[in-house]
Amino acid sequence: MSNPIVPTAPIPGLKLEQVLDCVHCGICLSVCPTFDILGTEADSPRGRIYYIRALAEGKTDLNPTLVGHLDSCLGCRACETACPSAVQYGEMLVHVRDAIEKQFPRSPQERLSRGVLLELLTRPDRLAPAMFGAALGEKLGFGGMVRAANHFLFGPDAPEMPLPQDASPSVVPLPAYTYAKGERRATVAILPGCVMQVLFQRVNLATIRVLAANGCDVVVPDMGCCGALHEHNGALDGARARAKEAIRALEAAHVDAIVVNSAGCGASMKQYGHLLADDPYWKERGEAIAARTMDASEFLVKLGPIAPTHSVDRRVTYHDACHLAHAQKIRSEPRTLLKLIPGLSLVELPNSDWCCGSAGIYNFLQPELATQLQEKKVGHVLSTQPEILVTGNPGCHAWIEAGLKSRNAPVEVLHTMEVLDRAYHG
Ligand code: SF4
Ligand code: SF4
């Protein structure tokens, strides 16, 4: 029987034919972390797609029940990996979230939390002094005030993340240009990132050293946020504005490839063509940047990595960040690189591609579910008895590290590029 005639989707960007790709088979339910915890159809991919379809057909509105079930979605896209009908759930979700943020009246607390998170995390010039102030406050014995501010901004259940011990009041700049070691094989730009520059500048530096050791000249473009966090949280206007700025800066770098060491940013940048699809001029420019964007592990494997010579005699396990494994389909490349390292013993993590609960700013917005997922992840990590947990996304890195620290587990958390850096440079 053919599908009934339905009205045009009232959600801008949401295509009804995409919604109708879902044949309701339910295969995705077994991989959905929120369905696993809550056990309710409405908190499964299929249930959420029913809601999205009702929206697209104009049979429902953006009511609190519907918004609640879409808010509880991690956006991890594990359902896309499992789906035999190639349903583009992630793309549908960003358009619905954009409509929710524009049309749904959130409470003042929710508006405050979302606004502060997006405006703080995507602005290193604000995030660095905020982290520095909080860390200093704690050192000087004002931890209670820091926690009170955390609860005021992000609600009474907001997670308490460990503060960096080496926080700096401003971003420590990266070298603008680093020359390849030996013969040059490529010239690349690395995405400095927002959270990366403040909390994980050491990962950026390690990435530059690893790329140089592999014969790459490395340019650090003068640029701001790539727009990923806005895109994933339903702020598409903000995401588009940031993407255009990023495109301008990356075009000006004139490089062979754009190397990204943050899974969420890479996943978003590879979709610049989709994000800017309404404007043919920007769509073309977005697609050109997307075509040159690669995760750091993906780039090195494509380039052909130079074998590292220093041993890293450690038992290591690897967590697949959702935006690498599910969004970018990058699973083998980090493992391939880790297996090149002499002395390193790689142990597979059970359910390594299950979301850890970080999911961008989800851990602040949905702390209860996020904490349950963090506990599951930490349990799996500890079951492999590793000395090092490796991952490729700053959110996962910080969230799993916080979970391990809360259990006093002696496990170091490193980015894939940091482990490689040790193997290249000792
Ligand atoms: S999203 Fe895919 S796997 Fe899930 S119910 Fe629909 S068709 Fe089946
Ligand atoms: S994105 Fe993740 S949490 Fe959301 S429906 Fe899909 S599997 Fe479930």
In the chain, where are the structural domains located?
A: 16-103, 108-154, 177-301, 307-425
**H-type alpha helices, 293-353:** 296-303, 322-325, 332-339
Backbone angles phi, psi at 130, to 5 degrees: -65, -45
As a whole number of angstroms, the distance between CA 312 and CA 249 comes to 37
As a whole number of angstroms, the distance between CA 295 and CA 193 comes to 13
CB-CB contact of 97 with 238 (8 Å): no
As a whole number of angstroms, the distance between CA 153 and CA 160 comes to 12
For residue 10, give the DSSP letter: S
CB-CB contact of 160 with 364 (8 Å): no
CB-CB contact of 400 with 415 (8 Å): no
Contacts of 13 (CB under 8 A, 6+ apart): 94, 95, 98, 236
| Ligand 1 atom at shortest distance from the alpha carbon of 24 | 5
Question: Which residue has the least CA distance to atom 8 on ligand 2?
Answer: 32
Of 32, 35, 93, which is best to mutate to test ligand 2, by the most ligand atoms within 8 angstroms of its C-beta?
32
- The predicted pLDDT at position 2 comes to 42
The reply to whether 177-301 shares the fold of 16-103 is no
Of 49, 72, 73, which is best to mutate to test ligand 2, by the most ligand atoms within 8 angstroms of its C-beta?
73
- The predicted pLDDT at position 3 comes to 42
The tens-digit pLDDT sequence of the chain (426 residues) is 444 444 445 788 898 999 999 999 999 999 999 999 999 999 999 999 999 999 999 899 999 999 999 999 999 999 999 999 999 999 999 999 999 999 999 999 999 999 999 999 999 999 999 999 998 988 888 888 888 888 888 888 888 877 877 888 999 999 999 999 999 999 999 999 999 999 999 999 999 999 999 999 999 999 989 999 999 998 999 999 999 999 999 999 999 999 999 999 999 999 999 999 999 999 999 999 999 999 999 999 999 999 999 999 999 999 999 999 999 999 999 999 999 999 999 999 999 999 999 999 999 999 999 999 999 999 999 999 999 999 999 999 999 999 999 999 999 999 999 999 999 998
CB-CB contact of 265 with 191 (8 Å): yes
Overall CATH class of domain 307-425? alpha beta
Q: What angle is formed at CA 387 by the lines to CA 384 and CA 390, rounded to 5 degrees? A: 80
Sheet holding 186-190, edge to edge: 177-178, 216-219, 186-190, 257-260, 293-295
Q: CATH fold of 16-103, please?
A: Fumarate Reductase Iron-sulfur Protein; Chain B, domain 2 (1.10.1060)
- The predicted pLDDT at position 162 comes to 76
For residue 190, give the DSSP letter: E
- The predicted pLDDT at position 8 comes to 45
Asked if the 177-301 domain carries CATH number 2.115.10, the reply is no
